[in-house]
C-alpha cells in the first residue's frame, strides 16, 4: 500500500461548498473547469475563420488532433505526479501550460504556430483536469464529494449552452484571436483563489516516482499518437478515413488497457467497472449527440438553430440530474445512481431512435434527449465520487487519470466510427441514423447491465 498523502485534517461534516474554509477553493475550481469547457467548445466555432485567416486548411485536422493527443498524455503524467508529490505542482504547471498555449495560439502569425499553441494548451488542460479531481479528494470531506462534482458537471454544461454563441459573437465583432486571448485573464485569478487552499494540502509523503511510471508514460505516448490519428481519420472520407481509423483503433487496443485498471476489459468488480461505465456512457451520449442535429436538419427540415436547441434541452437536463444526485442523502447502494443513469441514457437514446419514423413528431426527440441528459447528470458525478472512494490516497491521481482517459478515448473512438458510418454512402439516411443510434443505445444498455459490478472489489493498479 503506497504511503498516504499528507493532508490537513478535515472535519467530518463541513457546512457546505461555500463554507469559509472552502469558498475560494470552490469558486476557483469551478471557474477553471468552466474555462476548460468554454475553450474546448469555442475553438470549434472559431476554427473555420482561423483556417481562412491563416490560410491553414491543410493543418485543420491536426489543430484538433494535436491537443487531444497531448491532453491524453498529460492526464497520465498528472496522475503520476499527483500521487508522487501531491496536486500542487500539476495544478500550477497546468495553468502555466494552458495560458502559454492560449497566448501562442492567439498571437499566431501562421497556422503552424497556432497548432503549436493548441498542442501546448492541450497538455495544460490535461494536467489541470486530473489535478482538480485529486484536490477534491484531498480538500473536501467525503460528504461533499457528490456536490462538488455536481458543480463541476454544471461548469461543463453551462459553457455548452452559451460557449458557441459567445465565441461566434467574438469572432464576428472583435477577432478570432480573442477567443484565445481573453481566457487567461480569468484563468490566472481563478488559480490564485485556489492557491491558499493548495498550500494547506501539503505534499505526498512519497519521495520518488511510482514504480512503473516510465512504462506508463510510454504507453500514454502510444495512446496519444493513436488518439491524434483517430481524430484526424475521423475528419477524412472514404478509404483514407477507414484506414486511419482502423490503425488508430488498433493502437488504442494495444496501449489503452495498459493505462486503465487491471481487469478493465473483463469488467472486474469495483474500480475497473467504474472506469468502464464512464467510458460506455461517454461513447453512448456522444455517439447519439452527433447524429441528432444531422437527422433533424436533413429529415425534419429543422434549422441549425432549431436542431441546436434540442441539444440544449439535453444539456439542461444534464444539469438537473447533477443537481438531483448531489442532494440525495445516501443512495441505496453504490450501484443505484450508475444503474439509474445508464438506464435513462438507454431509454432516452431508444426514444430518439424512434423518431427516424417520419410520422412521429420532433417532440419525441426532445423528450428522449432530455431523458438521456438527465441520466448523464445522475451518472457522471456519482462515478467521480466512486473513483475517489475506491482509491487509496496515494492512488487518487492515477485512478482519476484513468477515469478521464476512459471517457476521452471511448468517446473519440465512437465519434470517429460514427463519422465513418455516416460518410460511407452518398448521403446519410434513416438506416444510417438508426444503426448509429442503436449502437449508442447498446453501449448504454451494456453499462446498465454491468452497473451492479461497481459493488465489491478494491482499487486495482493500472495494467
* pLDDT above 90 for 370: yes
Model confidence pLDDT, tens digit, residues 375-425: 999 998 889 888 888 887 777 888 888 888 888 888 877 877 776 666 655
- Across 399-427, b (16+ Cβ under 10 Å) vs e yields bbbbbbbbbbbbbbbbbbbbbbbbbeeee
> Which has the higher per-residue pLDDT, 297 or 75?
75
- Which CATH number fits the domain 14-144+153-210, given the four candidates 1.20.1440.120, 3.40.50.300, 1.20.1250.20, 1.10.287.1080? 1.20.1250.20
| The length of the chain, given as a count of residues | 463
- Is the Cβ–Cβ distance between 72 and 123 less than 8 Å? no
pLDDT at 6: 37
pLDDT at 446: 95
Average confidence (pLDDT) over 82-108 = 89
pLDDT at 459: 45
Average confidence (pLDDT) over 118-124 = 91
Confidence of residue 462 (pLDDT cuts 50, 70, 90): very low
Query: Residue 315 corresponds to which cell in the numbers above?
Result: 444539456
* pLDDT above 90 for 166: no
Model confidence pLDDT, tens digit, residues 244-258: 878 888 888 888 888
* pLDDT above 60 for 3: no
pLDDT at 211: 66
pLDDT at 224: 84
Confidence of residue 427 (pLDDT cuts 50, 70, 90): low
Instruction: Kindly list the domain boundaries of the chain, sorted by start residue.
Output: 14-144+153-210, 213-259, 261-463
Model confidence pLDDT, tens digit, residues 185-220: 888 888 888 877 777 665 554 555 666 778 888 888
Query: Residue 365 corresponds to which cell in the numbers above?
Result: 426527440
Confidence of residue 369 (pLDDT cuts 50, 70, 90): very high
Q: What is the DSSP string of 167-204?
A: HHHHHHHT-THHHHHSTHHHHHHHHHHHHHHHHHH--B
Residues in CB range of 184: below 8 A, 6 or more apart: 99, 102, 103
Tally of CB atoms within 10 A around 37: 19
Q: Any bridge partners for residue 5, and if so which?
A: 204
User: Would the CATH topology of 14-144+153-210 be identical to that of 261-463?
Assistant: yes
* pLDDT above 80 for 100: yes
Q: What is the CATH number of domain 261-463?
A: 1.20.1250.20
Average confidence (pLDDT) over 58-77 = 81
pLDDT at 450: 93
| Residue where the block lists cell 508522487 | 84
Instruction: Give the whole-angstrom CA distance, residue 205 versus residue 290.
Output: 45
> Which has the higher per-residue pLDDT, 79 or 461?
79
* pLDDT above 60 for 372: yes
* pLDDT above 50 for 96: yes
What backbone phi and psi angles, to 5 degrees, belong to 427? -160, 140
Amino acid at each position: 500500500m503506497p504511503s498516504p498523502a499528507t493532508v490537513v485534517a478535515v472535519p467530518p461534516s463541513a457546512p457546505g461548498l461555500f463554507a469559509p474554509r472552502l469558498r475560494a477553493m470552490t469558486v476557483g475550481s469551478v471557474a477553471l473547469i468552466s474555462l476548460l469547457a468554454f475553450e474546448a467548445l469555442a475553438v470549434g466555432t472559431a476554427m473555420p475563420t482561423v483556417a481562412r485567416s491563416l490560410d491553414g486548411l491543410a493543418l485543420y485536422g491536426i489543430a484538433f488532433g494535436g491537443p487531444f493527443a497531448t491532453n491524453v498524455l498529460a492526464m497520465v503524467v498528472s496522475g503520476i505526479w499527483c500521487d508522487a508529490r501531491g496536486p500542487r505542482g500539476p495544478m500550477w504547471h497546468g495553468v502555466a501550460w494552458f495560458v502559454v498555449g492560449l497566448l501562442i495560439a492567439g498571437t499566431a502569425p501562421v497556422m503552424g504556430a497556432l497548432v503549436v499553441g493548441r498542442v501546448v494548451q492541450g497538455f495544460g488542460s490535461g494536467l489541470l483536469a486530473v489535478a482538480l479531481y485529486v484536490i477534491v479528494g484531498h480538500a473536501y470531506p467525503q460528504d461533499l464529494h457528490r456536490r462538488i462534482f455536481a458543480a463541476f458537471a454544471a461548469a461543463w454544461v453551462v459553457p455548452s449552452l452559451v460557449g458557441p454563441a459567445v465565441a461566434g459573437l467574438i469572432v464576428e465583432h472583435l477577432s478570432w484571436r480573442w477567443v484565445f486571448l481573453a481566457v487567461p485573464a480569468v484563468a490566472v485569478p481563478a488559480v490564485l483563489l485556489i492557491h491558499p487552499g493548495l498550500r494547506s494540502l501539503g505534499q505526498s509523503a512519497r519521495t520518488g516516482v511510482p514504480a512503473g511510471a516510465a512504462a506508463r508514460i510510454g504507453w500514454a505516448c502510444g495512446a496519444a499518437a493513436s488518439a491524434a490519428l483517430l481524430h484526424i481519420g475521423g475528419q477524412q472520407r472514404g478509404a483514407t478515413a477507414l484506414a486511419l481509423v482502423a490503425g488508430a483503433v488498433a493502437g488504442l487496443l494495444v496501449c489503452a488497457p495498459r493505462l486503465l485498471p487491471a481487469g478493465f476489459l473483463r469488467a472486474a468488480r469495483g474500480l475497473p467497472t467504474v472506469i468502464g461505465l464512464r467510458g460506455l456512457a461517454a461513447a453512448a451520449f456522444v455517439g447519439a449527440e452527433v447524429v441528432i442535429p444531422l437527422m433533424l436538419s436533413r429529415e425534419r427540415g429543422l434549422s441549425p438553430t432549431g436542431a441546436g436547441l434540442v441539444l440544449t434541452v439535453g444539456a439542461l437536463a444534464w444539469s438537473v440530474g447533477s443537481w438531483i444526485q448531489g442532494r440525495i442523502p445516501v443512495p441505496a447502494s453504490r450501484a443505484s445512481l450508475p444503474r439509474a443513469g445508464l438506464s435513462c441514457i438507454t431509454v432516452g437514446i431508444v426514444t430518439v431512435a424512434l423518431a427516424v419514423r417520419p410520422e412521429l413528431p420532433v417532440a419525441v426527440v426532445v423528450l428522449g434527449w432530455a431523458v438521456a441528459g438527465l441520466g448523464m447528470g445522475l451518472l457522471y458525478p456519482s462515478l467521480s465520487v466512486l473513483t475517489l472512494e475506491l482509491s487509496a490516497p496515494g492512488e487518487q491521481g492515477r485512478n482519476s487519470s484513468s477515469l478521464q482517459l476512459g471517457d476521452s478515448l471511448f468517446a473519440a473512438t465512437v465519434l470517429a466510427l460514427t463519422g465513418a458510418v455516416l460518410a460511407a454512402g452518398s448521403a446519410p439516411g434513416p438506416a444510417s441514423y438508426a444503426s448509429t443510434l442503436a449502437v449508442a443505445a447498446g453501449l448504454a444498455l451494456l453499462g446498465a447491465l454491468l452497473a451492479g459490478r461497481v459493488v465489491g472489489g478494491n482499487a486495482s493498479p493500472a495494467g
